Amino acid sequence: MDRLPPFALHEVIVYLTPETAFRAFPLVCRRFYEETRQEHVYASYLIAVFGLPQDCRIDFQAFTRILVQAFGGNRLNQQKLKLTGFATTGGIDRNNMTYWVGNMFAEYCFKGYCSEENKNNIVCAAVLSDILQQEIPPQLEAAKRAVAQVIRSNSQLRSVAPLILPDDSTEKMTDFEEYIVMSSLFPRLLEVDLGRVNDEQERRAKRRELSGHYSVLKASALKLSDVLQDPSNCYLLEKPINKNHIRTQKTFFWTREVLISRESDFTCPVETFMMFTSMDFLPLESDQFSQFNDLRTDSDLRAFVAASGLEIIHSVFNQNGCSYHEFRRTSTSLQPILWGKFDSREGVKLEASLKQCFVGKYFYVKLICPENRMAEMNDQHQFTNIDVKTAGATGFVETLL
């Protein structure tokens, strides 16, 4: 092999495992060591394995860091990915923006997502938050800090919600706290906070200040006018998502663990679902998603797999009331991660550790069908919808050159 031309060596390296290609292979001889340290070699390896854009560049230190986290067994540095939910084919509850799809991917989920339309096979989309151009006005930032401090200083509220109320008052306001601000509860919390101020003049000044902050937050809350309906009437989009900007960014997430929860008193909790990633945004009503419609059962999925060429590499059956199948990574623009199902009432949350690492900028959840509990819960609606508490992924984020 020492006489192989460089291009032939590079072709060999692409087909090796990371352990062999960048630990064992370089030990064979000095030439192999030097070849594996060239940027175009190790960058090409990442591009080939994960489907990264061809123009990506990366230094060897970052490359090594990615390999260790993507293929190694140590996941201590991996965290829940910060995703911004921005699109759905399931409509929106026009009377209550609390159930918007963004809640489904929120860092601290409180309310969840409830579709409005009477349909199955709903696709929900999120994007890696790190990529977005999100500039928070100083006035809004100050309002969030001041109002969060009022909420977090309430001992009674903290006693019933200790896990979702951060201790640091400067930390980003959670969606649970934003829900409190939008509910009728906050004015009462404000009165409790003001009751600690003995001086009447100081109390009035503080009331004016906090009332002003409260007004800023109310004005900034997501409203129906902030959501755009696609011209084809297929799905809804939140205005700040600039897909052209996202396409130019070289920031990606890597994930080896996904989760979905239906923990709540939902009348139509999700029963069967799929998860995907992609580098670029893909239209939610396209054939790329609709080809997976109505895969309700394990037998439905296996029939589809046999006909499509999609390969199942790992399966888990009836684990805490849940089952799932993980798919082998493909070279397609839409990467299927897994198909899952809640097999029984015991199944309320699925946390799947993956055998492979999936990469992308966008994360999708396809809600194939719900479990219908409407009659037993005295829900008088004529048709079902689909409800989800939260969904997301655990992993790490890297920005390439």
pLDDT in tens, 204-234: 898 888 888 888 887 776 666 666 666 555 5
Tell whether the model's pLDDT for residue 170 goes beyond 70.
no
Residue 168 pLDDT: 63
102 pLDDT above the threshold of 80: yes
- Topology given in CATH for the domain delimited by 79-134+240-399: Jelly Rolls (2.60.120)
Q: Report the alpha-carbon distance of residue 88 to residue 122 in Å, rounded.
A: 7
Q: Which two tokens stand for residue 366?
A: 């396809």
pLDDT in tens, 335-384: 999 999 999 998 999 999 999 999 999 999 999 999 999 999 998 888 99
The pLDDT value given to residue 335 = 96
Residues 311-333: pLDDT tens digits? Answer: 999 999 988 999 999 999 998 99
pLDDT of residue 304: 97
d(CA 242, CA 295): 32
Q: What's the rounded Cα separation, in Å, for the pair 192 and 39? A: 60
Question: pLDDT at position 95, please?
Answer: 58
Residues 400, 252 contacting (CB under 8 angstroms): yes
Domain ranges of the chain: 6-71, 79-134+240-399, 138-220
Q: How confident is the model at residue 262 (pLDDT cuts 50, 70, 90)?
A: very high
Structure tokens given for 317: 């059956």
What tokens appear for 176 in the block? 């649970």
- DSSP state at residue 109: -
Q: Residue 9 burial (CB < 10 Å; 0-12/13-18/19+)?
A: middle
| Section 51-80 average pLDDT | 82
Q: Which of 71-80, 103-112, 155-164 is the most confident on average?
A: 103-112
- Single pTM value for the model: 0.83
